[in-house]
Amino acid sequence: MQFSNPWRDRPKGHNAALAQLRLPVTQGMRIVVDRRDRVHTSEGKEVPMVSKVLIPLLLAAIVAANGARAQSGVENGKLQFTKKCVICHAAEPGKNKIGPSLFGVVGRKAASEENFSYSDSMKKFDHVWDDATLDTYLAEPRKAVPGTKMIFAGLKDKGERDDIIAYLATLK
């Protein structure tokens, strides 16, 4: 993963520099630099800016934190899947419950699990499930596929969706 150094690469507009600094840190948390070059987390905690020399260290820490999250992401995804999806979906091949088996779902065409009776909307949803389509569907199922018979409000938290999708990708 690569991050640009906003001081070195600072583009002309200050806003563009700020936009560049909206880096993901942990689930839902972001580092934000305000107009006076104070560094905050999105939770409003101010990180004292002793010197701009600190920034490379900060970026290195962010990269490390993201690495740690990549590992724990699948585990958290499995946990969330158990809490929120298992009631209707199995992770084992060929096992359909209220919803179709999600074994091998990443890379599979929508509505292609044999012996599952999909809604007409899902049958017409002509997409292969990948990170992007899963993300949109899981965020708001009924908006992404109007008429879907998956009765599920959706996952608001992007980090949680990422983790669940990372877990789904291991089911193969």
Residues found near ligand HEC in the complex (CB under 6 A): 84-85, 87-89, 98-100, 102, 105, 110-111, 113, 118-119, 121-122, 129, 134, 138, 148-152, 155, 164
Residue closer to ligand HEC by CB (options 31, 134) is: 134
Would you say 78 and 147 are in contact if contact means Cβ atoms under 8 Å apart? Answer: no
- Smallest distance from the beta carbon of 27 to ligand HEC, in angstroms? 16
- 123's CB contacts (< 8 A; 6+ apart) are 111
Residue closer to ligand HEC by CB (options 60, 87) is: 87
- Smallest distance from the beta carbon of 72 to ligand HEC, in angstroms? 18
Phi, psi for 126 (deg, rounded to 5): -85, 70
Residue closer to ligand HEC by CB (options 67, 147) is: 147
Residues for the chain: how many in total? 172
- Smallest distance from the beta carbon of 83 to ligand HEC, in angstroms? 9
- Smallest distance from the beta carbon of 74 to ligand HEC, in angstroms? 14
Residue closer to ligand HEC by CB (options 23, 155) is: 155
